[in-house]
Amino acid sequence: MLSIALAGKPNAGKSTFYTASTMADVDVANYPFTTIDANRGVSYVRTECPCLERDERCNADNCKDGKRYVPIELIDVAGLVPGAHEGKGLGNQFLDALTNADAIVNVVDASGGTNEKGEPVDVGSHDPLEDIDFVEEEMDLWLAGIVDRNWEGVERASRSPDFDLDDELTEMLSGFGAGPTEIATILRDLEYPDDPIQWDDDHRESLAREVRATTKPIVVAANKIDVAPDENVERLLDLDKPVIPTTAEGELALRRAAENDLVAYDPGDESLEIGADVSDAQREALDDLADTMAEWGGTGVQDALDHAVYELLDHLTAYPVEDAAKWSDGSGNVLPDAFLLPHGSTPVDLAYTVHSDIGDGYLHAVDARSSREISDEYELEEGDVIKIVSTS
Ligand SMILES: Nc1nc2c(ncn2[C@@H]2O[C@H](COP(=O)(O)OP(=O)(O)O)[C@@H](O)[C@H]2O)c(=O)[nH]1
Ligand SMILES: [Mg+2]
């Protein structure tokens, strides 16, 4: 499963974002517990279900009126403060929690109501732009520290006649998500001495920064838009980085209200419908939230996760079926499964994602929309419905 980590300074709203995003308001069929452990849970990205092209909506657990929710893992990382890579605040153990993450949502308090350490100050008195770079910086320097600590091993290996820098670095950094292709691309763009013994701290730091940028892309959640001065949000949106305005607290309120049938709202909707059974106070709060959502296009929480998966990680959703005509599995369930795969994936990759036995037994694949056989090299597209013919 793809894994997204929430990073940022204390009190930015990470835990609120996490709680809202991991609430099981869609049925979590394969995952009996939405919380994997204290700060690791199942969340979803939202996409359009192919069932929208058919007469009837599908009956998949994670599809609601054609809004399809595909599971990902979400990690709530405890607050980072400047100097964390040197052990400040809660330090390295929390940076280590980012090791397995495929992408990062950097939650920033856009209201300017917390200082650089996350302590409350008057709203608007801290510039949230200052909170963006330090998270990147802490991650870069944390990884640089890891490269430093492992460099002696590289130097030792370089004395062997069959030493290969690419192989050595791939071995060191594959745990962070840098495979042979990523390492080759990074080394091509980097200037460095041939002999690892000649590398200095700057060489290792440049390597670490590139590896971090490649393996841990970041989307900024400009949070607390419900109270933030518009000007702050606009300045964040003007940055040359992906930024999504969010109100985590608004999303949490909506999910709870939807659970209690006070509103009609599905995660990622741009607006909400207020039900009849709300109190005056509830109506007032929901009206305010509706205004904020109208201004920014929703609460943004779902958008931030979608952006991480579909844009930063460049993934697509593919739907394997057994019956190409009915788009169903063997028991008649329409579009029962959805899988996230990187662009460039083929039907063979999809087969292996479903099950290694299906991959091993792969014979050919059929595009269920056209009922035509597709080549093994066909590159899957968003929303593809594919029948895999396999010996197992
Ligand atoms: N106004 C507002 N407050 C928020 C929002 N998100 C979080 N908060 C509040 O900010 C405080 C810190 O939130 P928390 O999620 O614990 O932050 P964390 O330390 O980053 O995990 C809490 O009082 C939240 O209720 C938001 O979107 N708007
Ligand atoms: Mg927290």
Token pair in block for residue 192: 């460095």
- 128 and 240 in a single domain? The answer is yes
Percent of the chain with pLDDT over 90: 84
Model confidence pLDDT, tens digit, residues 313-323: 999 999 999 99
pLDDT at 34: 46
Q: Ligand 2 center to residue 388 CA distance, Å?
A: 43
- Does residue 30 fall inside a structural domain? yes
Pocket test residue of 249, 255, 291, 301 for ligand 1, highest count of atoms within 8 A of CB: 249
- Does residue 173 fall inside a structural domain? no
Distances (CA, A) of 157 to 153, 165, 177, 206: 6, 9, 22, 21
- Does residue 15 fall inside a structural domain? yes
Q: Is the pLDDT of residue 201 over 90?
A: yes
Domain final residue pick, 282, 309, 336: 309
* CB count in 10 Å sphere of residue 342: 12
- 94 and 17 in a single domain? The answer is yes
Q: Is the pLDDT of residue 85 over 60?
A: yes
Atom number of ligand 1 nearest to Cα 16: 15
- 117 and 221 in a single domain? The answer is yes
**Where residue 354 sits, what CATH number does that domain have?**
3.10.20.30
- Average pLDDT of the residues in 377-390: 97
Write b or e for each residue in 116-140: b if 16 or more Cβ atoms lie within 10 A of its Cβ, otherwise e.
eebeeeebeebebeebbebbbebbb
- 298 and 322 in a single domain? The answer is no
Model confidence pLDDT, tens digit, residues 135-178: 899 999 999 999 999 999 999 999 999 999 999 999 999 999 99
**What is the 3-class SS of the chain, one letter each residue?**
CCEEEEECCCCCCHHHHHHHHHCCCCCCCCCCCCEEECCEEEEEEEEECHHHHCCCCCCCCCEECCEEEEEEEEEECCCCCCCHHHCCCCCHHHHHCCCCCCEEEEEEECCCCECCCCCECCCCCCCCCHHHHHHHHHHHHHHHHHHHHHHHHHHHHCCCCCCCHHHHHHHHHHHHCCCHHHHHHHHHCCCCCCCHHHCCHHHHHHHHHHHHHHHCCEEEEEECCCCCCHHHHHHHHCCCCCEEECCHHHHHHHHHHHHCCCEECCCCCCCCEECCCCCHHHHHHHHHHHHHHHHHCCCCHHHHHHHHHHHHCCEEEEEEECECCCCECCCCCECCCCEEEECCCCHHHHHHHHCHHHHHCEEEEEECCCCEEECCCCCCCCCEEEEEEECC
- 334 and 275 in a single domain? The answer is no
The span from the CA of 221 to the CA of 246, in Å, is 6
- 297 and 321 in a single domain? The answer is no
pLDDT at 55: 93
The span from the CA of 382 to the CA of 318, in Å, is 6
What is the dihedral angle through the alpha carbons of 75, 76, 78, 80, rounded to the nearest 10 degrees?
80
pLDDT at 37: 55
- Does residue 150 fall inside a structural domain? no
- 116 and 230 in a single domain? The answer is yes
- Does residue 342 fall inside a structural domain? yes
Pocket test residue of 16, 227, 236 for ligand 1, highest count of atoms within 8 A of CB: 16
- 304 and 331 in a single domain? The answer is no
- Does residue 186 fall inside a structural domain? no
- Does residue 172 fall inside a structural domain? no
Nearest CA to ligand 1 atom 13: 13
pLDDT at 168: 96
User: What phi and psi, each to the nearest 5 degrees, are found at residue 103?
Assistant: -155, 165
pLDDT: which is higher, 91 or 383: 383
Model confidence pLDDT, tens digit, residues 316-349: 999 999 999 999 999 999 999 999 999 999 999 9
pLDDT tier for residue 90 given thresholds of 50, 70 and 90: low
Please state, rounded to an integer, the average pLDDT across all residues of the chain.
92
Max Cα-Cα span within the chain:
78
**Where residue 273 sits, what CATH number does that domain have?**
3.40.50.300
Residues sharing a CB contact under 8 Å with residue 366, sequence separation 6 or more, in sequence order: 324, 372, 373, 374, 386, 387, 389
Ligand 1 close to Cβ of residue 13 (< 6 A): yes
- Average pLDDT of the residues in 83-107: 82
**Domain total in the chain:** 2
Domain final residue pick, 250, 282, 309: 309
- Does residue 154 fall inside a structural domain? no
- 129 and 224 in a single domain? The answer is yes
pLDDT at 278: 94
Q: Which domain holds residue 14?
A: 3-136+217-309
Model confidence pLDDT, tens digit, residues 1-45: 999 999 998 899 999 999 999 985 444 334 444 455 558 899 999
- Average pLDDT of the residues in 60-87: 89
Percent of the chain with pLDDT over 70: 95
- By mean pLDDT, which of 86-90, 179-183, 311-315, 327-331 is the weakest? 86-90
User: What phi and psi, each to the nearest 5 degrees, are found at residue 162?
Assistant: -100, 30
pLDDT: which is higher, 96 or 208: 208
Atom number of ligand 1 nearest to Cα 76: 21
Domain final residue pick, 260, 281, 309: 309
From the number of C-beta atoms within 10 Å of its C-beta (0-12, 13-18, 19+), residue 151 rates as: middle
- Report the sign of the C-alpha dihedral through residues 248, 253, 256, 262, in that order: negative
Ligand 1 close to Cβ of residue 79 (< 6 A): yes
Pairing of strands 315-321, 384-390: parallel
- 226 and 261 in a single domain? The answer is yes
* Residue pair 76/39 in contact by the 8 Å Cβ criterion: yes
Amino acid found at 137: E
- 128 and 271 in a single domain? The answer is yes
Ligand 1 close to Cβ of residue 109 (< 6 A): no
Nearest CA to ligand 1 atom 2: 224
Scanning the structure block, which residue is given the tokens 């579009």? 335
pLDDT: which is higher, 254 or 85: 254
Model confidence pLDDT, tens digit, residues 118-133: 889 998 899 999 999 8
- 123 and 247 in a single domain? The answer is yes
